[in-house]
Amino acid sequence: MTVTPEVRDTRRREGPPAKARPAPARRAAVDDRPVEFWPTAAIRAALETDDLTVWQRIVVAIKRDPYGRTARQVEEVLETARPYGVSKALAEVLTRTREHLEANERAEVARHIRSLLERSGLGQQEFASRIGVPSADFASYLSGQTSPPASLMVRISKLSDRFAKMRAQHPGATD
């Protein structure tokens, strides 16, 4: 078979045969999106791989939002997962991240309660008595060991408002 020059030129412009071309490195389209947008199947597939960078992206998403969509998806996958090498580590990340978040939230509530206490002008024991809790419980709220229920936070706020108004109207009055 003889190949004419026109055919030879066309073949050169098309490039080498398909076998000689290196296959482009394909990554799933989901990899390019933020982890928070991945479907649960992509989270499951990511946990089955040995790709540390993908695991790190999942950990970052969990730390950013410990009760968010990605964290819930990881929980779901871990409930039904074979014991992947990374599954124990991710379960630990979930636990520790949530504990850290909750400690920060308790500290924030404690700061808020301290500011309401100071604003009221009342002493700690008097304030606790007026909101109807034992002083030991109130002390645990102030220290951030525990947080009061929402209804008690409303009561604390109202008491603080009432005494702050009284102090503003009658300087030196605390009762």
Residue 77 carries which side chain, given as an amino acid letter? V
Q: Flag whether pLDDT at 16 surpasses 80.
A: no
Q: Please indicate whether residue 4 or residue 128 has the higher confidence score (pLDDT).
A: 128
Q: pLDDT at position 87, please?
A: 85
Q: Tell me which long-range contacts 61-70 makes (C-beta under 8 A, separation of at least 24).
A: 61/34, 61/35, 61/36, 62/90, 62/93, 62/94, 62/97, 63/93, 63/97, 65/36, 66/94, 66/97, 66/98, 66/100, 66/101, 67/98, 67/101, 68/36, 69/36, 70/35, 70/36, 70/38, 70/43
The model's pTM: 0.69
**What is the average per-residue pLDDT within 124-150?**
97
Q: pLDDT at position 51, please?
A: 84
Q: Which pair of tokens denotes residue 120?
A: 């009221």
Q: Which fold has domain 104-175?
A: 434 Repressor (Amino-terminal Domain) (1.10.260)
Q: Flag whether pLDDT at 123 surpasses 70.
A: yes
* CATH 1.10.260 residue spans of the chain: 104-175
Q: Flag whether pLDDT at 17 surpasses 70.
A: no
The Cα 31–Cα 166 span in angstroms is: 60
DSSP string, 107-129: HHHHHHHHHHHHHHT--HHHHHH
Q: What is the pLDDT of residues 63-120, one digit of tens each?
A: 999 999 999 999 999 988 766 678 888 999 999 999 999 999 999 999 999 999 999 9
